[in-house]
């Protein structure tokens, strides 16, 4: 295992969490002031501030203006994180589609409490500004607005994507980028560019069901490597996996993975890239959640450490701006030509006006300001939902501690069936994503993914209480 | 061969064409008045009118207001249609991508005379109204505008597609339709739903290069059956093709095929559907040009004759409204569930606001009125370009006589290389699509496809003169 250097503030936050878990600090207690703690621990003011922010984003602490930092919940601090799955070293023919169809087919009811799908609420997105922007672009674009915008896609948008990539440590030229119909088309293009039916794709476990469904539909095999909630895909197990026959790619959500929330530290990313490069195996990197860090700086994509054109970086604006605009992108490294050709064969072009509107928003719309607000909102929702789960779910439940994104991974005590929970919850008007859809082997039978994409409300509280009741009675 | 019943007016038009070809009627001659000819031939007034319309759409006749119908060109009438290719009964691993990339990579120059790509000029599309409509929809849609619209896609749009299908003889319910990112995604979904790598797809020859590229990218094989310019895919050769191993689908542009312009008569469509059904093989029907008939009624899709859910009807609004909106659809018959799942895995959803804007235009925007104008414009362009080709290309050149769409298929005298023509033309600022990209076997070495999607202009005239000069010197 590579060293996964921890920051001082992370160590400090962990110490304080320990004090909360042991009951030394209790709900309602005021934490030492930043200045005092800084003196006590001989760390900088900024380290303490970062530690408090982290505790806040994890739901342990709340900030009261003009007053200080207070312990919010002792219950959550006592809840451990889910465990990674055990290793299984065989590649699996995937067949999650039936299960996904069963889960998602039932959840189109508008009265449903939606804790299942990974959707961000339009209430948190710059809906009005984006739609007004699209309207303005549409009125002004003339023929260019209705014409095809052939691959690689709109230059203005690709320039903005390159500029933002540079800000998180990825040197990209606009002409290295191909725009796509969302991240899913980007991942699809990457898989098709580097692998074919019968080939094996190394994925983390748990993995996003959409990716498993994609691998299934391409008749490829998924080789699942346990993902550690803290550091992501287990690098200690990677080499053995890569030695298996017909491994043609590794597909990982490096930042705030879906559903585990795992964030790979820079060192782990560097190591992952290095080990894959040694065997000339491409990394398909899904960075769709990277802009949604709850604290600290925007984490770097693994692409930042790529020296061989082997990291195919995929992303989109579906979680931070407008899912329905269907605008994503891929920087396919050395596979650029293949990806561009496949893009033309698959969907010819990415929607023109939507690309223009998003390029314009990135340039002039205050995307950074919006992201700051969105991150705070999302961190708050994750904290509240975590706390409610800690309160209502049976003892022995484990909850992930994501430091970005808006997805929680919840492991119920052994023997409780997530599918059973899903069915009963649906009958009571609550949708949730059951663990087995996140595994080609349909593991995670007692896990669920809970989405925190909607602002906290009574309906959500009721939904979680309902889930907790059902889970307790299973 | 099935009987391909010809209408009286078609026979009359052919008689008159013969008189022009023989020189009995010369350029500038006035044709008999409708009433007189009706009396001479003992046919109805309407039959004569239809025959004159057909001759007009073929470029042989022009109508002078308050005066009558005049012979426009004797030259074109003397030019025969291209011949179908000879049969080759082996399925081919497709590899046209390199050729297409070579052709299209070079033609992104904005100063190029674009006779290559199958694009409709924004000047002929309701650009302003559509963009204004999209702007209005964007301003009013709120959160629904930026949210995902999960498969099967926007109900309002699917209702409009179903309504229009009913008008050309296809009984479809809205819930049988899945919206897609243009026709190419629809075809892609169909191919993936019914076939896999190594399987064989029966296609007409010549075939649209995008489809060949798609088949290539899916590692399927294309079995090419000669297409007759008049009646489409040769049904006399179909049965032998269907007896070959691993034939999993037949993919045909039934109405105004690309590039041949072939229109299958109803009887031929019925027979095609019947023969495929006998072997339980699905027909993937690409009807993207069906709304662009130059004369008569909108031709029916083959789906109108399907009784077994085996015809997967694909279409879009990319040739008649807005290519850049990327909105198409598929009615996948009995493969609906598979297609809907693949759609989710491939691109998650079709752009929301673009679907709304097109649904609105279909309901309130005067689509029929727009189509009437567009058809006239397109017929006129096809006639003018045909005439210019007849004038400037070397003797022995053959030109297709499409009765819909905006593509001409031109066969130069044997031995002249379309690729050579393409390269030299590009160097002189004219892009054209060379024949070999329309065949998995890279036949049609002396054919080119000329697109008439742009309004007649001096630049286009100059472009065709240039092509003719090069062709003459080859």
User: Comparing B84 with B89, which gets the higher pLDDT?
Assistant: B84
Confidence of residue B2 (pLDDT cuts 50, 70, 90): very low
Question: Which tens digit of pLDDT belongs to each residue from A57-103?
Answer: 777 888 887 888 988 876 777 788 888 777 666 777 666 777 777 66
Count interface pairs A-B at CB distance under 8 A. Answer: 216
CA distance A355 to chain B (A): 10
- Indicate if the pLDDT at residue B76 is higher than 80: no
Question: Which tens digit of pLDDT belongs to each residue from A154-163?
Answer: 999 999 999 9
Cα–Cα distance for residue pair A299/A169, rounded to 1 Å: 9
Helices B336-347 and A97-105 pack at an angle, to 10 degrees, of 90
DSSP A44: -
Q: Is B456 on the interface with A (CB under 8 A)?
A: no
Spell out the CATH class of B129-367.
Answer: alpha beta
pLDDT of residue B315: 98
Is B325 in Cβ contact with A217 (below 8 Å)?
no
Q: Of B174, B350, B155, B344, whose CA–CA distance to A105 is shortest?
A: B344
* pTM over 0.90, yes/no: no
Is A146 in Cβ contact with B122 (below 8 Å)?
yes
Q: B65 Cβ partners below 8 Å, 6+ apart?
A: none
Is A185 in Cβ contact with B324 (below 8 Å)?
no
pLDDT of residue A2: 39
- Mean predicted lDDT score pLDDT of chain A: 91
Please tell me which of the candidates B121, B346, B351 has its beta carbon nearest to residue A325: B351
Q: Is A147 on the interface with B (CB under 8 A)?
A: yes
From chain B residues 7-66, the ones with a CB under 8 A of any chain A CB are none
Query: Average pLDDT in the B459-474 region?
Result: 96
Is A324 in Cβ contact with B145 (below 8 Å)?
yes
Cα–Cα distance for residue pair B136/B405, rounded to 1 Å: 31
User: Comparing B45 with A100, which gets the higher pLDDT?
Assistant: B45
Determine contact, residues B135/B145, Cβ cutoff 8 Å: no
Chain B hits for A354, CB-CB cut-off 8 Å, are 351, 353-354
B119: left (phi over 0), alpha (psi -120 to 50) or beta: beta
Question: Which tens digit of pLDDT belongs to each residue from B200-231?
Answer: 999 999 999 999 999 999 999 999 999 987 78
Please tell me which of the candidates A138, A337, A348 has its beta carbon nearest to residue B134: A138
Q: Is A136 on the interface with B (CB under 8 A)?
A: yes
- Indicate if the pLDDT at residue B144 is higher than 80: yes
Query: Average pLDDT in the B362-369 region?
Result: 92
Cα–Cα distance for residue pair B464/A376, rounded to 1 Å: 61
User: Comparing B236 with B84, which gets the higher pLDDT?
Assistant: B236
Would you give the end-to-end CA distance of chain A in angstroms?
Answer: 38
pLDDT of residue A87: 65
Spell out the CATH class of A104-124+369-473.
Answer: alpha beta
Please tell me which of the candidates B97, B130, B150 has its beta carbon nearest to residue A341: B97
Question: Which tens digit of pLDDT belongs to each residue from A295-328?
Answer: 889 999 999 999 999 999 999 999 999 999 999 9
Is A210 in Cβ contact with B345 (below 8 Å)?
yes
pLDDT of residue B104: 66
Is B197 in Cβ contact with A348 (below 8 Å)?
no
Is B127 in Cβ contact with A146 (below 8 Å)?
yes
pLDDT of residue B289: 97
Burial A381-396 (b: 16+ CB within 10 A, else e): bbbbbbbbbbebbeee
pLDDT of residue A1: 37
CATH code given to domain B96-124+369-473 = 3.90.1150.10
Pair of tokens at residue A212: 């498993």
Confidence of residue B93 (pLDDT cuts 50, 70, 90): low
Cα–Cα distance for residue pair A454/A183, rounded to 1 Å: 21
| Domain covering A142-366: architecture | 3-Layer(aba) Sandwich (3.40)
pLDDT of residue A88: 65
- Mean predicted lDDT score pLDDT of chain B: 91
Chain A hits for B138, CB-CB cut-off 8 Å, are 131-132, 134-135, 138
- Indicate if the pLDDT at residue A251 is higher than 80: yes
CATH code given to domain B8-77 = 1.10.10.10
- Map out the domains of chain B as residue ranges: 8-77, 96-124+369-473, 129-367
Is A352 in Cβ contact with B324 (below 8 Å)?
yes
3-state SS class at B232: strand
Query: Average pLDDT in the B405-434 region?
Result: 93
Question: Which tens digit of pLDDT belongs to each residue from B282-292?
Answer: 999 999 999 99
Q: A356 Cβ partners below 8 Å, 6+ apart?
A: A137, A141, A145, A154, A156, A157
Please tell me which of the candidates A131, A214, A326 has its beta carbon nearest to residue B141: A131
Chain B hits for A201, CB-CB cut-off 8 Å, are none
User: Comparing B301 with B216, which gets the higher pLDDT?
Assistant: B301
Query: Average pLDDT in the B39-57 region?
Result: 87
Share of chain B above pLDDT 90, in %: 73
Please tell me which of the candidates B213, B324, B352 has its beta carbon nearest to residue A145: B324
Pair of tokens at residue B250: 């037949």
Chain B hits for A149, CB-CB cut-off 8 Å, are 324
- Indicate if the pLDDT at residue B97 is higher than 80: no
Question: Which tens digit of pLDDT belongs to each residue from A191-236?
Answer: 999 999 999 999 999 999 999 999 999 999 999 999 987 789 999 9
pLDDT of residue B106: 57
Q: State the sign of the Cα–Cα–Cα–Cα dihedral A329, B102, B402, B314.
A: negative
From chain B residues 304-323, the ones with a CB under 8 A of any chain A CB are 318, 321-323
pLDDT of residue B91: 72
Could you tell me which residues are beta bridge partners of residue B203? B224, B251
pLDDT of residue B75: 74
pLDDT of residue A435: 94
Confidence of residue A425 (pLDDT cuts 50, 70, 90): very high
């Amino acid at each position: 295992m590579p060293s996964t250097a921890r920051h001082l503030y992370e160590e400090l936050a962990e110490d304080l969490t320990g004090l909360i878990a042991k009951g030394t600090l209790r709900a309602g207690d005021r934490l030492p002031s930043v200045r005092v703690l800084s003196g006590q621990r001989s760390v900088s003011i900024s380290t303490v501030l970062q530690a408090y922010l982290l505790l806040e984003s994890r739901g342990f602490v709340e900030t009261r203006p003009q007053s200080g930092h207070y312990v919010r919940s002792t219950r959550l601090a006592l809840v451990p994180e889910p465990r990674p799955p055990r290793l299984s070293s065989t590649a699996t023919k995937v067949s999650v589609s039936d299960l996904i169809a069963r889960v998602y087919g039932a959840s189109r009811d508008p009265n449903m409490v939606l804790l299942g799908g990974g959707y961000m609420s339009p209430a948190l997105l710059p809906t009005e500004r984006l739609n007004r922007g699209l309207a303005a672009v549409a009125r002004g674009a003339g023929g260019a607005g209705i014409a095809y915008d052939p691959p690689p896609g709109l230059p203005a948008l690709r320039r903005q994507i390159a500029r933002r990539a540079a800000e998180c440590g990825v040197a990209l030229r606009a002409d290295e980028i191909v725009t796509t119909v969302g991240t899913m088309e980007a991942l699809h293009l990457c898989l098709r560019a580097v692998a074919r039916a019968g080939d094996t794709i190394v994925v983390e476990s748990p993995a996003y069901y959409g990716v498993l469904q994609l691998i299934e539909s391409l008749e490829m095999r998924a080789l699942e490597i346990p993902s550690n909630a803290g550091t992501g895909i287990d690098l200690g197990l990677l080499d053995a996996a890569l030695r298996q026959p017909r491994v043609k790619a590794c597909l990982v959500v490096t930042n705030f993975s879906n559903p585990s929330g795992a964030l790979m530290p820079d060192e782990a990313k560097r190591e992952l890239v290095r080990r894959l490069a040694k065997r000339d195996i491409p990394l398909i990197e899904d960075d769709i959640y990277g802009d949604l860090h709850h604290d600290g700086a925007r984490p770097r994509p693994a692409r930042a450490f790529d020296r061989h054109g082997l990291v195919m970086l995929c992303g989109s604006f579906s979680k931070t701006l407008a899912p329905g605009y269907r605008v994503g992108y891929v920087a396919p490294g050395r596979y650029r030509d293949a990806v561009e050709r496949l893009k033309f064969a698959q969907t010819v072009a990415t929607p023109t006006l939507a690309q223009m509107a998003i390029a314009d928003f990135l340039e002039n719309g205050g995307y950074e300001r919006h992201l700051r607000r969105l991150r705070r909102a999302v961190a708050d929702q994750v904290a509240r939902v975590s706390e409610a789960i800690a309160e209502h779910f049976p003892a022995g439940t484990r909850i992930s501690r994501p430091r970005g994104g808006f997805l929680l991974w919840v492991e119920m005590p052994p023997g409780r069936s997530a599918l059973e929970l899903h069915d009963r919850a649906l009958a009571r008007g609550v949708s949730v994503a059951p663990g087995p859809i996140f595994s080609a082997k349909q593991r995670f039978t007692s896990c669920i993914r809970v989405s925190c994409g909607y602002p906290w409300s009574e309906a959500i509280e009721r939904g979680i209480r309902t889930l907790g009741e059902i889970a307790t009675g299973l």
